Amino acid sequence: MNLFRSEEHVDRWLGSRSPGAMLPVTTLNALARGWWGDRLDPGWTPHSREQNQAVLEGLGLVGGFWQLG
Amino acid sequence: MDPADVSLRNTTYGMFVALGRAPSAEEVAASTGSTAVDVLAGWRRLHDGHALVLDAEGTEIRMANPFSAVPTAYRVLAHGRWWYANCAWDAFGICAALDTDGQVRASCPDCGEPLAITVQGQHLDQPSLVFHCLVPAQRWWDDIAFT
């Protein structure tokens, strides 16, 4: 899970490997807030898979690649 | 997840932030009135439940996601302290978890160019950067260090 200067840099870095998923860093920041925002809450409880999937879907991250196991 | 293990996890995370590093099992045991053996047993259950990640020996914390206990290519200045993140996602997650603005430092894996991003809430001063996730979500925990 890496950060690149642009899509061109991702493509060059991948070479012959199959690409994964690309997001604007602004979407990543929003995803990080939804995913990690409560991790230090004193009353934190584990997220269910459904909760985590909803965080992804809320940002339009849908389809097989984003389907949690 | 057992409530006692959730409590152990929350204590461990709180100590990580207070200390600025991963606590040892002995430190957590002293804080909770437990024993290091019991803490390690709880950590192993939390590891199996993907609530934290232990090192290969199973005796020290490797990740208290989004925080990394070991140096990585992703550094974050937040709350007046530098932290290591496990990946780009976690770098922004550290600002989110600490509920604060911050600075993310990394380098482009392709060209090595340094990347410096200022995070101010939802605003980023380098919005043209791109995040790439190589591993599909179903396989993230197959090898979380690689992911």
pLDDT 10s digits, A52-69? 999 999 999 999 999 997
Residue A16 lies in a domain: no
Out of B9, B115, B135, the one facing A3 most closely (by C-beta) is: B115
Instruction: Note whether residue A6 is domain-resident.
Output: no
Quote the pTM value.
0.93
* Letter string b/e over residues B11-27, b meaning 16 or more CB atoms within 10 A of that residue's CB: bbbbbbbeeeebbbbee
Give the confidence band of B64 by pLDDT, cuts at 50, 70, 90. very high
Give the distance from CA B48 to its chain's centroid: 16
Taking a C-beta distance cutoff of 8 angstroms, is the pair B52, B22 a contact?
no
Cβ under 8 Å to A: B residues 76-135: 87-99, 104, 106, 108-111, 113, 115, 117, 119, 122, 124, 126-135
Sheet holding A2-4, edge to edge: A2-4, B130-133, A21-24
CATH fit for domain B3-64, picks 1.10.8, 3.40.50, 1.10.10, 1.10.150? 1.10.10
Q: Tell whether the model's pLDDT for residue B133 goes beyond 90.
A: yes
Q: What is the pLDDT of residue B146?
A: 73
Residues linked to residue B61 through DSSP beta bridges, in sequence order:
B54
Q: How far apart are CA B42 and CA B23, in angstroms?
A: 14
**Residue-range definition of the domain harbouring residue A28:** 24-69
CATH class, B70-147 region: alpha beta
Q: Which residue of B has its CA nearest to A52?
A: B137
